[in-house]
C-alpha cells in the first residue's frame, strides 16, 4: 500500500497528537503494530485498518549502536513496556508487530528483540525501504538520518533498487555541540532542541556535510531526481536547505520526521506482499 504525501502528513500529525498519550481510544477492526528500534529511541506505533495512527509511544534509550545491540534484555523490556501502554490505551491485546533494521545489517538484530518481548514478527524490511514502500515514490532516495546512522533507499519503477547505511547521525551533532560548549552529551541533546539560541545549525553543518557526502556516495549512478528526508535529526530547522545546496536536488521534508520511519514500519503490516 502506498499513500500520497498529503496523507502521510495527515497521519504524521495524528501520530504526533497521540505521541505518549495514555488516554483510551476505542479500536475496532484489525490493528497494525510497528516497532522501530533505533540508536536513540524505541517507538511503538499502532495503526487502524486504514493505516491511521491510534497510539504511539516513544522512549529515549540507547539499546542499539552501530548495528549492534548493546542491551538486548533492556531493549526487549522497553518494547514490552511500550506495547503494554498501547494495549492499555486501545483496550486490546497486541500479539504481533512489524519491525525494521538498518540496511546492510542482520534483521535478526530486531526480530530477536521482538520475539523476546513476546511478539510474533509479521513483517520486516530495512528502515529507509519501509518509507520508500509507504510513499508513492519514483526516481527518489529516502534518506533516514537517525541518532546513530544514516540510511539511504533508492526507489525506481516501484522497486527499492538500492539501500545502504553508514554510522553518522544526530549523535555526532550532539558530540559536536558538547565539544563546542564543554558540556555533557545529555546537556548537548537538550540544547539541540533550542537551535536558534545555541547556533545549532552552524555546529551541525560539518556533520551534515559529511552525511551529504555519504548520501552522494549512496546515490552515485542511481536514478535519483529528489530526496525524501526522514529520521529525528531532520527536525533540525534549516537541514533541508543544507541538503538542497550540497546535493543540488529537490528536498522533501515531512512535518514530523521523527515519526515517519515508525509510521512506515507499522504500515508494513498493511501491505500483504511485504514479508521482507
Ligand atoms: N527537535 C529535534 N531537533 C534536532 N534533533 C532532534 C530533535 N528531536 C530528535 N532529534 C534527534 O533525532 C535523533 C533520533 O532520531 P530517530 O528517532 O530517527 O533515531 P533512531 O531511529 O533512534 O536512530 P537510528 O535510525 O540511527 O538507529 C537523535 O539524535 C535526536 O537528538
Ligand atoms: Mg531510525
Name beta bridge partners: 142.
Answer: 153, 228
Q: Whose CA is closest to atom 20 on ligand 1?
A: 38
Task: Give the pLDDT of residue 274.
Answer: 42
Picking from 266, 265, 241, the residue whose alpha carbon sits closest to that of residue 253 is: 241
Task: Give the pLDDT of residue 272.
Answer: 57
Q: Name residues contacting ligand 1 (CB within 6 A).
A: 36, 38-41, 144, 146-149, 169-171, 174, 189, 192-193, 231-233, 235-236, 258, 261
List, for the chain, all residue ranges whose pLDDT scores fall below the cut of 50: 273-276
- What's the CA-to-centroid distance between 236 and ligand 1, angstroms? 10
Query: pLDDT per residue over 133-170, tens digit each?
Result: 999 899 999 999 999 999 999 999 888 999 999 999 99
pTM exceeds 0.85, yes or no: yes
The mean predicted confidence, pLDDT, of the chain is: 94
C-alpha cell at 244: 538542497
Q: Whose CA is closest to atom 5 on ligand 1?
A: 233
Which H or E element spans position 144?
Answer: strand 140-145
Among the bound ligands, name the one nearest to the CA of residue 130.
2
Q: DSSP letter at 92?
A: S
Task: Give the pLDDT of residue 107.
Answer: 93
- In the chain, what are the domains? 5-131+258-269 (3.30.420.40), 136-254 (3.30.420.40)
Task: Give the pLDDT of residue 66.
Answer: 65
Amino acid at each position: 500500500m502506498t499513500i500520497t504525501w498529503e496523507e502521510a502528513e495527515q497521519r504524521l500529525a495524528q501520530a504526533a497528537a497521540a505521541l505518549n498519550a495514555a488516554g483510551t481510544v476505542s479500536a475496532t477492526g484489525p490493528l497494525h503494530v510497528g516497532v522501530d528500534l533505533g540508536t536513540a529511541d524505541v517507538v511503538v506505533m499502532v495503526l487502524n485498518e486504514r493505516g491511521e495512527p491510534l497510539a504511539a509511544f516513544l522512549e529515549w534509550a540507547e539499546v542499539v549502536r552501530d548495528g549492534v545491540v548493546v542491551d538486548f534484555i533492556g531493549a526487549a523490556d522497553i518494547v514490552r513496556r511500550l506495547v503494554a501502554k498501547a494495549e492499555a490505551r486501545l483496550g486490546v491485546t497486541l500479539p504481533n508487530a512489524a519491525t525494521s533494521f538498518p540496511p546492510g545489517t542482520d534483521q535478526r538484530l530486531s526480530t530477536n528483540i521482538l520475539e523476546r518481548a513476546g511478539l510474533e514478527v509479521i513483517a520486516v524490511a530495512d528502515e529507509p525501504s519501509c518509507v520508500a514502500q509507504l510513499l508513492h515514490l519514483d526516481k527518489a532516495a529516502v534518506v533516514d538520518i537517525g541518532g546513530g546512522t544514516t540510511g539511504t533507499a533508492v526507489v525506481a519503477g516501484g522497486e527499492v533498487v538500492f539501500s545502504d547505511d553508514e554510522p553518522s547521525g544526530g549523535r555526532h551533532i550532539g558530540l559536536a555541540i558538547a565539544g563546542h560548549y564543554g558540556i555533557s552529551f545529555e546537556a548537548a541533546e537538550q540544547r539541540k532542541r533550542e537551535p536558534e539560541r545555541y547556533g545549532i545549525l552552524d555546529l551541525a553543518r560539518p556533520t551534515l556535510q559529511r552525511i551529504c557526502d555519504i548520501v552522494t556516495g549512496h546515490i552515485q549512478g542511481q536514478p535519483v531526481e529528489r530526496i525524501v528526508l526522514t529520521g529525528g535529526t531532520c527536525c533540525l530547522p534549516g537541514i533541508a536547505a543544507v541538503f538542497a545546496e550540497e546535493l543540488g536536488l529537490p528536498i522533501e521534508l515531512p512535518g514530523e520526521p521523527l515519526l515517519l520511519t515508525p509510521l512506515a514500519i507499522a504500515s508494513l503490516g498493511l501491505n500483504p506482499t511485504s514479508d521482507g
